[in-house]
Amino acid sequence: MAIDEDAPAKVNLTLHVVGQRADGYHLLDSLVVFTEIGDRLRFATAADMRLKVTGPMAAGVPADRTNLVLRAAELMGGGGATITLEKHLPMAAGLGGGSSDAAATLRGLARLWARALPDAPSVARLGADLPVCLAPRPRRMGGIGEDLAEVPQLPAFWLVLVNPGVALATPSVFAALNDKTGRPMPQALPRCGSAAELATFLRMQRNDLEAPALRLAPVIGAVLAALSAQSGCLMARMSGSGATCFGLFADPLHAAAAARAISAAERGWWVHETGLYA
C-alpha cells in the first residue's frame, strides 16, 4: 500500500512583522496562499522508518533527522514506513518547503497508519509554519504562525516564482530587521473582485523582511526588477524570508510568457509559473 501527498509551496503575499515576544519569537500578520508547484511525498509500509530524497532539487537535502520530515514522522508515534520525498522546491527559499513537507508527512502517515493527527500545540512545536501548511489553503496567519483565520475568497490569479539560487537563513533575515513593531494589515481584509484589485490591495501592504533580505542578498533586487519588467505583471514582491520572489498575473498566458522570458535571460535562476493549489 502506497499513499501520495502534495506539499505545495507556501507564498506570503504579505508579511508584516508586528512585534517580538520575550522568548525571541516574532509576531506576524501574513496573507498566505499555496501553489500548484511543490514537493511530492509517497508513503509505503515498511519494517522501519526510512527517508529517500529524489527529484530535481534533491541535491543537498538531508535524509537524516535534520530533515523535518523525520521529526514529523516521530511525532506520529512508532511505526515503520518508507518515505520518498520528491523535491521540486529549492531549499531555504522562503516558500515553506520544509514545513509543507513535514505537514504532508503528518497527513500521509495518518492515512497510512489510520491514526489521528497530533494536537495543534504539538504540530506548532515542529515549526511556526506547520499549522498553516497542515491544511493548505488561503489564510491569514497571525501570532507566531498558530493563529489562523479564513479570508474572503480570492480572485483567480497566477504567480511566477523566481529564486536566484541564493539560500537565506530565516534567523539571519529576522536578525537584520531593524523595526519589529510594524502595523498589521487592516482588521477586515477586502473582498477583491479581480487580480488587479488584489494587486492594488497588496501594494498597500508589505513584506517587512524584504529590506533586510535585500541587504543580505542584493540579487533579490534584480529578481524583483526582472519580474516587474514583464508584460502583465501587476506587482512583484519577495515571499517569506526570501530569496524567492513572486510576480502576480491576471492570466496564465502572461505568466507563462514571463517565466519563459526570465528563464531565457537568467539560466541559473529557478523559475516557475503556477496557479493556486486547489
In this prediction, residue 193 carries a pLDDT of 98
- pLDDT in the model for residue 78: 77
Q: What is the DSSP string of 168-201?
A: --HHHHHHT-S--------SS----SSHHHHHHH
* Average pLDDT of every residue of the chain: 96
Which pLDDT belongs to residue 1? 76
- CB contact at 8 A, 41 and 84: yes
What local confidence, expressed as pLDDT, does residue 278 receive? 85
Choosing from 10, 87, 101, 208, the catalytic residue is 10
Is position 87 annotated as part of the catalytic site? no
Residue 240: pLDDT band with limits 50, 70, 90: very high
145: left (phi over 0), alpha (psi -120 to 50) or beta: left
Residue 10 annotated among the catalytic residues of the structure: yes
The active-site residue, picked from 29, 39, 101, 129, is: 129
Task: Quickly count helices (H) and strands (E) in the chain.
Answer: 9, 11
Q: Looking up cell 497508519, which residue turns up?
A: 113
Domains and CATH numbers, the chain: 2-147 (3.30.230.10), 152-274 (3.30.70.890)
Q: Which residues pair with 42 in a beta bridge?
A: 4, 84
Tell me the CB-side half-sphere exposure of residue 221, using CA atoms within 13 A: 7
Tell me the pLDDT tens digit for each residue of 82-136.
999 999 999 999 999 999 999 999 999 999 999 999 999 999 999 999 999 999 9
Q: Could you tell me the three cell numbers for 264?
A: 531565457
Cell numbers for 127, please give them: 515549526
The candidate with the shortest Cα–Cα distance to 275, out of 4, 6, 8, is 8
